[in-house]
Amino acid sequence: MITYIGAENIISPLGVTSQENFNKIKQAKTGIACYQEVGFGKENIYLSKFKTQTNFYDLIVSCLQAVIAESITNLIFDKKTLVIISTTKADIQENIASPILFSVNKLKQEFNLYNTPIVVSNACISGVLAMNTANNYLKAGVYENVFIIGADVISDFVLFGFQSLFAISEMPCQPFDKNRKGITLGEGAGGVLMSINKNVYKSICFEFVEGTSSNDANHISGPSRTGEGLFRSITNTLELANLNPSDIDFISAHGTGTTFNDEMEAIAFGRLKMNKIPLNSLKGYFGHTLGAAGLIEMAICIQSLRNNIAIKSLGYHHQGTSEKINVTTQNINMEINTILKTASGFGGCNASAIIRKLK
């Protein structure tokens, strides 16, 4: 049984379709800009933020509509169709009493969904984990189609929180670079359709091969020094996919731009002997969009498969990890068949997934 993936959408400050977003980042355009006096201490902060105030509900609705538009009519109403929502803080700014379920219940009514959506809220791996969950459901025959939508918006709550951890970069984030100083927050939504039927897609679709997660069992807010959880997750994913590290053409890493996270990832890739494979982080374009990150980045991975272009890792100039890894310093036109997507987050969680072109 094959799980298919496609109909990808991205809504970000760079655009409202995946093509538009891909074209912008191909030209090294970023959504990140400096916002005056928005920090807790009235600091100027770099953010990837929409020009107009955007709420969580509108984002998930627009993104779901866009994915639906790329799939066959009425698929969303099917009894064998599920919607999975990936988010961390959802509508925390406006509705702290029910930041997630208020919007999700409204979505269920608005779209007349047969099955109640499942909400994955697992820090920064939520998006990849949501796709892994969809794959598991599809391969087990529980559902036939899963729409996965990830979204998060920038709020004082999240910004002040990351400021309190001294995790916000004073400059646009520079994942894997030696001068990296932390994260840049972003907002947006990403969506894909995963299915056991190839014919539900309007455009070419791809295979979602496998995905797993693993905990570091080490620290709640700092990554493992040995990259243990990420190492284990990628190892498990490769094994279930029946692939070797050498079968991976490109890696879309998590790369937040913090000292410890990026170092941890480099160590894990080194342990896996995957440090020669071209790799990027997309956080330099979209910022860290938390629960949306996995979906937005997977949508770009799919665009990379469609266009055979590996995107440059924006903000990277000089090796900044103890383990040398192959971070892309320019867009590369290359035959890409198989991509590994990874994510890591607070709570010591790590996830990985592999997609590839259909044979």
Partner 1 sequence: MSYISTYCHISLNQCFVDGKQTHQFNSLSIDQFLKDLYTALSLDYPKFYKMDRLTKLAFIGTELLKKEHPEITMYNDNEIALLFGNNNSSALTDINFKESYQNGGSPSPSLFVYTLPNILLGEIAIRNKWYGENMFIVNENFDSVYFINYVNILLNKNAEAVFCGWLNVNDEMVEAFLFFVSKKDIIQLNLPFEKSKLIELYQENKL
Residue 229 or 257 having the CB closest to partner 1: 229
Least distance (Å) from partner 1 to the CB of residue 182?
Answer: 14
- Give the tokens for residue 323: 């383990």
Select the span of 12-20, 28-36, 157-165, 175-183 touching partner 1 (CB under 8 A). 157-165
Rounded Cα distance, 254 and 297, in Å:
9
Among 3, 71, 81, 88, binds partner 1 (CB under 8 A): 88
Residues 101-140 close enough to bind partner 1 by CB under 8 A: 101, 105, 116, 118-123, 129, 133, 136-137, 140
- Give the tokens for residue 282: 């997309």
Is 236 an interacting residue with respect to partner 1 (CB under 8 A)?
Answer: yes
Spell out where 116-241 has E strands. 118-120, 145-152, 185-186, 188-195, 206-215
Cα–chain-centroid distance for residue 187?
12
Report CA-CA distances (Å) from 205 to 7, 208, 305, 306, 318.
7, 10, 10, 9, 36
According to DSSP, residue 209 is labeled: E
Among 28, 96, 204, 334, binds partner 1 (CB under 8 A): 96
Q: Residue 273: left (phi > 0), alpha (psi -120 to 50), or beta?
A: left
Rounded Cα distance, 312 and 328, in Å:
5
Among 33, 34, 240, 358, binds partner 1 (CB under 8 A): 240
Select the span of 3-11, 71-79, 228-236, 267-275 touching partner 1 (CB under 8 A). 228-236
Residue 194: what are its φ and ψ, rounded to 5°? -115, 140
Contact yes or no for 341/350 (Cβ under 8 A): no
Select the span of 44-52, 72-80, 90-98, 304-312 touching partner 1 (CB under 8 A). 90-98
Residues 285-344 close enough to bind partner 1 by CB under 8 A: none
Among 28, 33, 34, 40, binds partner 1 (CB under 8 A): 40
Among 28, 69, 204, 220, binds partner 1 (CB under 8 A): 220
Is 39 an interacting residue with respect to partner 1 (CB under 8 A)?
Answer: no
Residues that bind partner 1 (CB under 8 A): 40, 88-89, 92, 96-101, 105, 116, 118-123, 129, 133, 136-137, 140, 142, 156-157, 160-165, 212-221, 228-229, 232, 236, 240, 345-349
